[in-house]
């Protein structure tokens, strides 16, 4: 599991997920965290189109074409989405990729590795090869058209196959996630985390606020030119929820006071709405996408200017010492 992943979501009724392309039937029932990215939704959004216009160029297109010819996957248009989930234990993560791929080309490339091996599980082929880290492996299963499973151990990949085959239980929806599904029509990203089950949080003395929470989730998307984000947080009790609310409101208050020195920061913080009901805290963000893009561009230019000024001061300081 990635170190700082505070994921979230789970659904059972597919009607709640129209347009999200997140399939709860692909996520194991014992999952304590998950992260889903809908790349098609991002690609079709104003945010995605703006990002593509900034980084896409002849050199990038050339590299993407080379990767397509070598590995058999089009990272620009062939990747539709991905779901990552785990049970909270170290290195316990399963990646479900939704993509159009040249299966034979990918397998052919994998076979170039001398340690490549192939095995079967319940009629499914598993392709195994060394991972990027020493002593680790990558196990891949092409589970039907457009669905690829990836995991670090045979046990995990076999468990993922059982989930997709309906042999073991998949995850169910909770109240917090249900509230998120009602807020966004077509989320580009949705995540969920059961903090009480994540040792990286419970054993971290600096994560005092997160320890007061039991579960949390966040979803981000865009609809009719408006960028939206919704978060829920279920605290262990009402008092803990009130403390967390006070911390969040305090941070937002500091940001809103920056309207003279940092107006963009004030605009962002003023776009948040915080609501609390017993031990459930909800935070919503709404802003015109073009305005949000402009704020992002302004902040990048400001950081760039700050770095240049710092480099000039450092250069002058060095020259004065010579």
Mean pLDDT, 10 residues at a time, the chain of 322 residues: 31 32 84 90 90 84 85 84 87 89 88 90 92 78 90 93 93 68 78 74 67 84 91 89 92 88 91 92 93 91 85 81 68
Closest to 71 (Cα-Cα) out of 39, 104, 46: 104
Residue 300 lies in a domain: no
CA distances from 63 to 58, 67, 106, 117 (A): 9, 6, 17, 29
pLDDT score at 143? 92
pLDDT score at 155? 93
List CB contacts of 5: < 8 A, sequence separation 6 or more. Answer: 33, 35, 84, 191, 193
pLDDT score at 15? 30
Q: Domain count of the chain?
A: 1
Residue 236 lies in a domain: no
Residue 281 lies in a domain: no
Residues comprising the chain, all counted:
322
List CB contacts of 47: < 8 A, sequence separation 6 or more. Answer: 188, 222, 227, 289, 292, 293
Residue 146 lies in a domain: yes
Q: How many other C-beta atoms are found inside a 10 Å radius of the C-beta of residue 2?
A: 11
d(CA 13, CA 25): 10
Residue owning tokens 């480099």 = 311
Tell me the chain's radius of gyration from C-alpha atoms.
22
DSSP state of 234: E
Residue owning tokens 């919503």 = 284
Q: What is the pTM of this model?
A: 0.80
Residue 1 lies in a domain: no
Cβ-contact 161, 149 below 8 angstroms: yes
pLDDT score at 171? 85
Residue owning tokens 């399939």 = 23
**HSE value, Cβ hemisphere, 13 Å, CA-based, for 315:** 6
Q: Which strand (E) or helix (H) includes residue 172?
A: none
Closest to 30 (Cα-Cα) out of 172, 177, 151, 139: 172
Domain range spanning residue 126? 38-164
Residue 62 lies in a domain: yes
Residue 3 lies in a domain: no
Residue 247 lies in a domain: no
List CB contacts of 273: < 8 A, sequence separation 6 or more. Answer: 283, 284, 285, 286
């Amino acid at each position: 599991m990635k170190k700082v992943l505070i994921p979230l979501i789970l659904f059972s009724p597919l009607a709640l997920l129209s347009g999200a392309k997140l399939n709860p039937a692909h996520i194991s029932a014992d999952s304590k965290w998950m992260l889903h990215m809908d790349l098609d939704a991002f690609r079709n959004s104003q945010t995605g189109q703006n990002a593509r216009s900034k980084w896409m160029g002849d050199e990038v297109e050339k590299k993407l074409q080379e990767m397509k010819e070598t590995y058999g996957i089009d990272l620009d248009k062939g990747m539709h989405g991905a779901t990552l989930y785990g049970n909270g234990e170290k290195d316990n993560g399963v990646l479900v990729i939704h993509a159009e791929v040249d299966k034979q080309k990918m397998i052919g490339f994998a076979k170039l590795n001398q340690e490549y091996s192939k095995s079967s599980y319940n009629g499914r082929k598993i392709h195994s090869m060394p991972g990027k880290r020493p002593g680790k492996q990558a196990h891949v299963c092409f589970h039907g058209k457009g669905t690829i499973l990836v995991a670090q151990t045979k046990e995990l990949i076999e468990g993922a196959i059982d989930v997709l085959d309906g042999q073991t239980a998949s995850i169910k929806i909770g109240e917090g996630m249900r509230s998120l599904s009602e807020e966004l029509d077509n989320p580009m990203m949705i995540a969920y985390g059961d903090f009480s089950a994540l040792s990286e949080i419970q054993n971290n003395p600096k994560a005092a606020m997160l320890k007061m929470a039991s579960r949390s989730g966040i979803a981000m998307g865009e609809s009719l030119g408006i960028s939206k984000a919704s978060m829920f947080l279920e605290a262990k009790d009402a008092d803990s929820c009130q403390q967390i609310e006070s911390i969040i409101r305090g941070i937002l208050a500091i940001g809103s006071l920056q309207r003279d020195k940092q107006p963009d920061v004030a605009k962002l913080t003023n776009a948040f709405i915080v609501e609390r009901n017993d031990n459930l805290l909800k935070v919503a963000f709404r802003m015109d996408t073009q305005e949000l893009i402009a704020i992002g561009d302004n902040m990048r230019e400001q950081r760039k200017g700050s770095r240049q000024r710092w480099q000039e001061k450092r250069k002058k300081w060095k020259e004065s010492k010579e």
